[in-house]
Amino acid sequence: MAEPEGPGAGAVADPRGVLRQGRAFLDFFWDIAKPEQEVRLAATENLLRHLREGRKDDELRYTLKRLVEGLGATREAARPGFSLALAQVLQAFEEISMCSVLEQIKEKHNLEKVKKKLVRNAAFGNFFGVMALFQSGRLVKDQKALLESIQLLQQLAHHQAHLRDLPRKTLIDIMSEVPETVFEEVLFDILQSDLASALTSPENLHLLLVAIQKFPGVLKPKNLKKLFGSSTVVNEENIPRLVELLQSAAKSEKKDKKLPGLVFDLLQVSLKEDAFELFWNEGVENRLLKEKSGPVSYMCYRLLGSALPLLSLDQLQMVLKGKVMQHYGEHVVTTQLPDRFKFAPEMEEYVDEFLNSCDDPERQLAVIIGFSTLTNQGFPVFSSSSKVVRHLQPVVLQKYIDWLKDMFLRPDLDCCLDFSSNRQKQNHGNVNTAQHKISRLRKWIIHRLANIVENAVKKEESLVMDISRFCFFHAFFEAKKKTAQIREASVLPSEPIDQQAHSATENYFFGLLQTLNTLTVLGDTAKAAALREKHIHGVTADGKLWIFLLVEYADKLLSSEHVKAVKPFTKGERDAWERTLQAVKNLQKKENKSDSAKVVAFQQLLLLMAIHLFKNHSETMDVLSDLLNCTEKAFSKEPKKKKSDNTEPGWVEVMVEILLSLLAQPSLLIRRISKSVFVRICPNLTKRGLQLILDVLDPYQEQDEESAVVVMEESEKKIKSAQDMDEEGSADSSDEGDTEEENDSGDEEENEEVDDNFRSQLMNVLQAGNALGGDESDEELDDEAMMALDKNISALFVEQQKRIQAKKDEKDRMRKEKILRRDFKIKVLDLIEAFLTKQSENPLVFDIIEPLLRVIEQCMSSDSDKQEVDFLQKTANIFRNSLCRTKQYCKRVDALQEDLHAFVERLVKKASKHTTSSVALYYFSASLYLLRVLKGNVSDKSSTSAPLAQTQSNTTPQACQLLSTGCLDMERVTAIYRQALTQFLTKRKSALTCSMFHDLFKRFPIMCKPLVDTLVKSITAGARQHQQTQACLLLQKVLLLHELKLFMTREEWEELIKESISQVTESLKMAGKCMVKADKEKVAKNLELLNFLLKTVKEQKLNVKLMDLEKVLVALNQPEGFGNSARLDSLYWNVMLWLDYKKPKKEKTANKPVQETESLKRKKKGFLPETKKRKNRKKGIQESGAGPGTGEDGDPAASEEQALGTETPKQKKGLMPGGSKHKNQNRGVKENGLAMVGNGEEAVNGGDAVADKKKKKKKMRNRKRKGNTGNEAEQAPAAKKAKGTIGQETQQKQGQANQQKQGKAKKKRKVKKTPVLQE
């Protein structure tokens, strides 16, 4: 086998010599065969290093032998590994003959002598051998080896079932590396037959094409005609056969999804022979494309993309207007389904690569225009957002933009390669008109222009402004007549621009405006570089806003007589426009003065509203007028006379209302600018302005409206989807859906009233028609009466259906309003987050805490959908990250001390009274945030921390910082948290958790000393075991804080430790014998705390008496004390170590055989009887006198089966073996499962052992008679005894009882196999 076979494959000279050197050398070959590539490469490097350092001939010969054997390995990963290793060895040791290695490969992997099932491995062995010779780089230099390798590859080409086209590809690779002289002298003769039969197979044709390109001096047209029959490959005679070979190549490599090398080489040869037009028109377009085959079509597309860099300008124009392009466009249009293969991304890569590598501007322009004119009913197939334009040269980009603008104004559909799909041809109707095509083309062009600003890399400010003006002009204006003053009006459209084109241009313009707002500063000037370093966006190199330049351009258009607006301004709108421009100019004068952020904010918002005045006149006018009035107030020089008058809102409040109204707009640009404006006016925000924002988030506002909206979302969505699918569907289905919706909403009373009303109306109609009378009334109704009754009933049902539909529409409207309202609140949260981030030191931050908590509480208590969950998560993240965890906080709270302390008390009480821990955690975290604010501020009353400073006069500066209380009223805060801690530890149900108080103690160590007494008392005074456990856990974490010692003297610390030990002692006294899970957890925490306390006492040498504790702990060490809890046992002995008690070594008890017997009894198959265990089988005959079973004095050793408490002192100390092998003469009584043995004075002799053996065989033969052995074994469990004792008999009986269940034959077989070993 080709696998590494270990020591079996020795060296040639000395079969054992190499193998005796160790495993390190042999392990290289095992690693080379492993599937991991990194391991194979590392093994190859290590093998080469070892061979270079050793320079041993036997190792080198063995290496070649192993590597040659591995070339035909069964595992696929091993073959290339051995091939690479062999190539590296041949490259490193040039003294190795290439021919000898090749002969060794042929001999080892002989295709003629190998067995049929190993032909595949042998073929691969030969192939990878040639690959190794070629990769070594020495094959081309050795002509003899080269010739034999080519001949071997020709032989391997016949094994296509295994190797496919690998030998031909390798032959082509080798030939491409061979010099022309070597090819002519050595290879040409042996390859002549393959070259002459080039049209018989794709491989031979590929070989010929490579030879023509590589060796033009050898394969001249004259020689080619002698060899091939014609002086050229691409001609009219060969086209049909070439097409067949190309089709075969396309189908053979369809899985690779790449262009076959044969096709690309044929393209290059056709260009060399000046036959490209013939090849493309006759071969590709007229023959290959006519075969409706996916692989062939994709091969043509790839050939088109690959040919772009090779073609001249004329050839490019021919190809880009040909059938292949049209066929590709049809493919793009018809493969819009998600599960279809799409070639468009691959074609875009071809175009991107060509534009990136091409330096010819004309060819670049031809390709980008060629793909832009491939249209489907006027709409270009090429993506309008493609990023390939980033590779265009500046000159080409400008020409392309000019071409796009000219096509927009004067659409030339004749220059487009337009097509229609089969479905479009069937539904041509009135759709396929010139105007429809022009409208689609203009829509694509505007999007393409707007996208160039975003994606083009090499762009200048003039180019960006040119595109922006063009889009703005054709979105809102029309040219009356030509004028040279306005560039956009210098050319009139050949076809009038309809309203649909204006609307599309308008939408794309505002997308362009968003791009301009985030555009980095362009230009190479120093000022532009400085602005880029400051991360300023949306301005030009001289600092002007892009939007301001567009407003100036718009004002120029409004004052021009040669153009008119699509939606003309009224007199009021024009006055507002003039006021806006004047206000912007006034703001620009103040920009360099103080408060520039506010100036920029107003300026940006005014310009945005001015632009939006062209889009929506009525809505924008209201906002613009309010904004202008607000601007006048904000920058008015008059003093604030009416500061105390709260009736008139300030400019900040007005601005906040404007921003809130703008946040509700669907435009992303408006929302982003609104947020940026809010960030700039944050320092000026007042409490009333902030309250306007918080009112939006108030969950209890508009509660009546929202309560009517709370319905089942799923049922409404189902009804809505059914309504969209069939608006005129059956009344029954909608009625059922409405009934389900009513039941889901829970409004049963109203539904009953509706049903009762409808029922009463139906009864009235039936009574009016006498349809509810007796049997006689049925006979009295004639046809006319029946028809009238049917009409009345039908009208009644129609009215009922209308009421149901109206009710359903109302609920759907309310649901949509709820979704919009929630979406608006999510957007408003962005303003809250911005304020907390930018103004974290503002005292108004405290007003945000409770509204956010109310939102969190309301969202957690309601059954929420995904949007509600997103709203909750965003609110919680803002509260946690932007508020509670912020590094900056308010430093001016001296005047707010009383309010903040009351706020802390209110938050802690709400956290204590809450029923949900997750909500209580947010309230508690808010109180900790306020504690940090109060502690971090310096109070005017410096005497606050005087007592602490006096007690710790010699502390470090870090300790002084910890001891500082700031503005904290320690007595009041301590009372607040002591009450909460007491409630947590005394009430059965509390929303507070241990982690909350641990966070309190960890972040504020100053709170540890006042509250630690409560923790100590709660060890025994807790409401339940759980609360006492939490008290122990908290106390241990508090005592571990090293900051606690800074607040206490040594006497106080010692008293705390003493009191803690006393409380734990009392708690352990209350521990019962039969403990439940809660009791065990409590004892465990007690022991953990006690372990720390005793460690502290011992290490710090505190004066604490431990007598009472020792008595309690010793009393706990009872057999029934901890049960089977290994954890409690471990914790207990960890504590006892501090009291100088050591855990006794565990002795083997007599109960163990009982457990073993029970386990054997449970096992039905595969058990090992006691008689077959090694310790019982090795019982042999002992010599007379003191044997292995006797003690030091010659007495027999005591057995393991002695009861607890009967061990001798020597046995306790481990000096005597507990389970010696001897014969016990006292076959006495068994009590409590323990064997009561005698003195054991008789010595063990060989005769007794023989007698026991005979007795044992006799009992085995009489096994069938003893049916009650199982019961006896259960009543008297067997202990470990020597042979012949009662314990052993009982074990044998137990094994027999289990064996009876498995058949007589199996029992006899096991009896025969039972060995009895003797010494």
Give pLDDT tens digits for 545-556. 999 999 999 999
Q: Which of 1105, 1021, 987, 1022 is nearest to 1057 (CA)?
A: 1105
Q: Which of 521, 516, 520, 524 is nearest to 546 (CA)?
A: 516
The b-or-e profile of 1159-1195 (16+ CB within 10 A means b, else e) is ebeeeeeeeebbbeeeebeebeebeeeebebbbeeee
What is residue 334's predicted lDDT score, i.e. its pLDDT? 86
Q: Can you name the residues that pair with 1235 across neighbouring β-strands? A: 1230
| pLDDT, the chain, mean | 77
pLDDT of residue 361 exceeding 50, the answer is: yes
pLDDT of residue 383 exceeding 80, the answer is: yes
Q: Which residue has the tokens 């009373």?
A: 749
- Kindly state the average pLDDT of the residues 885-909: 88
Distance in angstroms (rounded) separating the CA atoms of residues 1025 and 695: 45
Reduced to 3 states, what is the DSSP secondary structure of residue 975?
helix
Greater pLDDT, 659 or 861: 659
What is residue 410's predicted lDDT score, i.e. its pLDDT? 92
- Kindly state the average pLDDT of the residues 1179-1189: 41
Cβ-proximal residues to 1315 (8 Å cutoff; 6+ apart), any chain: 1172, 1177
What is residue 116's predicted lDDT score, i.e. its pLDDT? 81
Distance in angstroms (rounded) separating the CA atoms of residues 1193 and 1198: 13
| Residue 858 pLDDT level (bands cut at 50, 70, 90) | confident
The CA dihedral of 550, 551, 555, 556, to the nearest 10 degrees, is: -20
Q: Which of 832, 889, 839, 847 is nearest to 597 (CA)?
A: 839
Q: How far is CA 19 from CA 13, 78, 82, 85, in A?
A: 12, 22, 20, 20
Q: Among 490-494, 871-875, 1184-1188, name the one with the lowest average pLDDT.
A: 1184-1188
Distance in angstroms (rounded) separating the CA atoms of residues 817 and 815: 5
User: pLDDT above 90 covers what percent of the chain?
Assistant: 27
Q: Which of 1003, 986, 876, 843 is nearest to 935 (CA)?
A: 1003
Rg (CA), the chain: 48
Give 866: exposed, middle or buried? Use CB within 10 Å, 0-12, 13-18, 19+: exposed
Helix (H) or strand (E) holding 375: strand 374-376
Q: Which of 797, 810, 800, 822 is nearest to 741 (CA)?
A: 810
For residue range 98-109, list pLDDT tens digits in order. 899 999 898 888
Distance in angstroms (rounded) separating the CA atoms of residues 26 and 14: 15
pLDDT of residue 1289 exceeding 50, the answer is: no
- In eight-state DSSP terms, residue 1186 is S
- Kindly state the average pLDDT of the residues 640-659: 72
Q: Which residue has the tokens 């006896």?
A: 1272
* Cβ 260 vs Cβ 249: under 8 Å: yes
Q: Which residue has the tokens 């081309």?
A: 140
Q: What is the pTM of this model?
A: 0.70
Phi first, then psi: what are they for 1230, rounded to 5°?
-105, 130
pLDDT of residue 114 exceeding 90, the answer is: no
How many CA atoms within 13 Å lie on the side-chain side of 77? 12
Q: How do 417-419 and 374-376 pair as beta strands?
A: parallel
Token couple for 1132 = 């207990």
Q: How far is CA 1123 from CA 62, 958, 1268, in A?
A: 67, 49, 34
* Cβ 893 vs Cβ 933: under 8 Å: yes
What is residue 835's predicted lDDT score, i.e. its pLDDT? 92
Greater pLDDT, 820 or 1223: 820
Q: Long-range contacts for 634-642 (Cβ within 8 Å, ≥24 apart)?
A: 634/598, 634/602, 635/586, 635/587, 635/590, 635/602
What is residue 445's predicted lDDT score, i.e. its pLDDT? 95
Greater pLDDT, 638 or 543: 543
Greater pLDDT, 322 or 646: 322
* Cβ 254 vs Cβ 224: under 8 Å: no
Q: Among 783-797, 876-890, 1109-1123, name the one with the lowest average pLDDT.
A: 1109-1123
Greater pLDDT, 444 or 1140: 444
What is residue 1123's predicted lDDT score, i.e. its pLDDT? 62
What is residue 780's predicted lDDT score, i.e. its pLDDT? 57
Reduced to 3 states, what is the DSSP secondary structure of residue 109?
coil
Cβ-proximal residues to 887 (8 Å cutoff; 6+ apart), any chain: none
Reduced to 3 states, what is the DSSP secondary structure of residue 732?
helix
For residue range 289-321, list pLDDT tens digits in order. 888 788 899 999 999 999 999 999 999 999 999
Q: How far is CA 20 from the centre of its chain?
A: 53
Q: What is the CB neighbour count within 10 angstroms for residue 474?
A: 25
Q: Can you name the residues that pair with 539 across neighbouring β-strands? A: 545
Distance in angstroms (rounded) separating the CA atoms of residues 86 and 69: 11
Q: How far is CA 337 from the centre of its chain?
A: 27
- Kindly state the average pLDDT of the residues 842-855: 92
| Residue at 313: amino acid letter | L
Q: Which of 1180, 1177, 1161 is nearest to 1293 (CA)?
A: 1161
| Residue 1175 pLDDT level (bands cut at 50, 70, 90) | low
How many CA atoms within 13 Å lie on the side-chain side of 49? 8
- Kindly state the average pLDDT of the residues 1279-1296: 41
Reduced to 3 states, what is the DSSP secondary structure of residue 1218?
coil
Q: Can you name the residues that pair with 563 across neighbouring β-strands? A: 479
For residue range 395-428, list pLDDT tens digits in order. 999 999 999 999 999 999 999 999 888 777 777 6
Distance in angstroms (rounded) separating the CA atoms of residues 128 and 73: 10
Q: Long-range contacts for 611-614 (Cβ within 8 Å, ≥24 apart)?
A: 611/513, 611/547, 611/550, 611/551, 611/554, 612/670, 613/569, 613/573, 613/576, 613/577, 614/475, 614/476, 614/554, 614/565, 614/567
Q: What is the CB neighbour count within 10 angstroms for residue 546?
A: 22
Greater pLDDT, 1229 or 224: 224
Alpha carbon distance, N-terminus to C-terminus of the chain: 49
What is residue 1103's predicted lDDT score, i.e. its pLDDT? 87
What is residue 411's predicted lDDT score, i.e. its pLDDT? 92
Distance in angstroms (rounded) separating the CA atoms of residues 947 and 964: 11
Q: H-type helices in 1004-1076, by residue range?
A: 1008-1021, 1025-1039, 1050-1069
User: pLDDT above 70 covers what percent of the chain?
Assistant: 75
* Cβ 249 vs Cβ 205: under 8 Å: no
Q: How far is CA 924 from the centre of its chain?
A: 32
Reduced to 3 states, what is the DSSP secondary structure of residue 873?
helix
Greater pLDDT, 1194 or 341: 341
* Cβ 453 vs Cβ 515: under 8 Å: yes
- In eight-state DSSP terms, residue 116 is G
* Cβ 1063 vs Cβ 1019: under 8 Å: yes
| Residue 851 pLDDT level (bands cut at 50, 70, 90) | very high
Q: How far is CA 543 from the centre of its chain?
A: 42
| Residue 747 pLDDT level (bands cut at 50, 70, 90) | very low
Token couple for 166 = 């690998």
Token couple for 139 = 């094959």
| Residue 1171 pLDDT level (bands cut at 50, 70, 90) | low
The CA dihedral of 1084, 1089, 1095, 1101, to the nearest 10 degrees, is: -140
pLDDT of residue 161 exceeding 90, the answer is: no
| Residue 828 pLDDT level (bands cut at 50, 70, 90) | very high
Distance in angstroms (rounded) separating the CA atoms of residues 148 and 129: 12
Q: What angle do CA 100, 104, 106 make, to 5 degrees?
A: 115
What is residue 224's predicted lDDT score, i.e. its pLDDT? 84
Greater pLDDT, 908 or 1210: 908
What is residue 397's predicted lDDT score, i.e. its pLDDT? 93
What is residue 432's predicted lDDT score, i.e. its pLDDT? 54
What is residue 1110's predicted lDDT score, i.e. its pLDDT? 86
| Residue 798 pLDDT level (bands cut at 50, 70, 90) | confident
pLDDT of residue 722 exceeding 60, the answer is: no
Q: What angle do CA 1010, 1053, 1116 make, to 5 degrees?
A: 100
Token couple for 199 = 């049209």
